Amino acid sequence: MIKINEIYQSIQGESTYAGLPCVFIRTSGCNLRCRWCDTEYAFEGGETNSIERILETVADFGCRLVEVTGGEPLLQEDTFALISALLDKDYHVLIETSGAIPIKNLDSRAVIILDIKCPGSGMTSTMHWDNLNHLKEQDEVKFVIADQSDYEWSKTTIETHQTLQGKTIHFSPVFGEMDPRQLADWILKDRLPVRLQIQLHKHIWDPSMKGV
């Protein structure tokens, strides 16, 4: 059984899958309190669902791309079984996780989108750095950047962790706080092999809307 905050279909706003229709399974609960969090409503509440019921709800959307997100989805033990069940039904499954919980036991068929917490989040100390050793070729990494200090920290992190070499890496500006043009300038100046990621859904719909 898994406590679910919401299940909905939208346009994927992040990662290399941005722009594609996607079904989002948002679990309830999070062990972190990032300063810039945009889903605080998922910290509490929600309804407990069986894996079978979740699969039925997802099937109704008729969409093969599914993201399991939160909150922090890996806080709930049954999320691991849900991910495998989705994959067994031939869904393409993305997992967005904070990096604070071990990923080594996740089904290897899933695509992990691992958030590496910059100092601006206030949560850098929670990082489970061994996760970097378990990233697969198809997995992706995200740095949410609030200012130049976060940018420099992210650049150093990439340079000092060999396991990140060759990985798909996203630099995402904190919405409404970090100017994307400034971040783009830094990336170009330093010739970093990273992707500038704009949260597409926040430019399509009101940034405060749920279910998008």
**Is 157 a domain residue?**
yes
**Is 212's pLDDT higher than 70?**
no
pTM for this one?
Answer: 0.94
What is the spatial distance between Cα 118 and Cα 127, in angstroms, rounded to a whole number? 10
Q: What is the pLDDT of residue 199?
A: 84
Rounded alpha-carbon distances, angstroms, from residue 145 to 21, 43, 96, 118: 26, 22, 17, 7
Q: How many CB atoms lie within 10 A of CB 154?
A: 23
**Is 212 a domain residue?**
no
| Backbone dihedral region for residue 15 (phi beyond 0: left; psi -120 to 50: alpha; all else: beta) | left
Q: What is the arrangement of strands in the sheet containing 195-196, beginning at the earlier edge strand?
A: 47-49, 2-11, 21-27, 65-69, 92-97, 111-115, 140-145, 168-173, 195-196
Beta-bridge mates of residue 145 = 173
What is the mean predicted confidence (pLDDT) over 14-38? 93
The per-residue pLDDT of the chain, averaged, comes to: 94
* Count of structural domains, the chain: 1
User: What SS3 state is found at 69?
Assistant: strand
- Least Cα distance to 146 among 68, 35, 48 occurs for 35
CATH number for position 23? 3.20.20.70
- Reported as a single tens digit per residue, the pLDDT across 64-116 is 999 999 999 999 999 999 999 999 999 999 999 999 999 999 999 999 999 99
What is the domain extent for residue 96?
2-204
**Is 209 a domain residue?**
no
Contact 120, 21 (CB under 8 A): no
Residues 6+ apart with CB under 8 A from 40: none
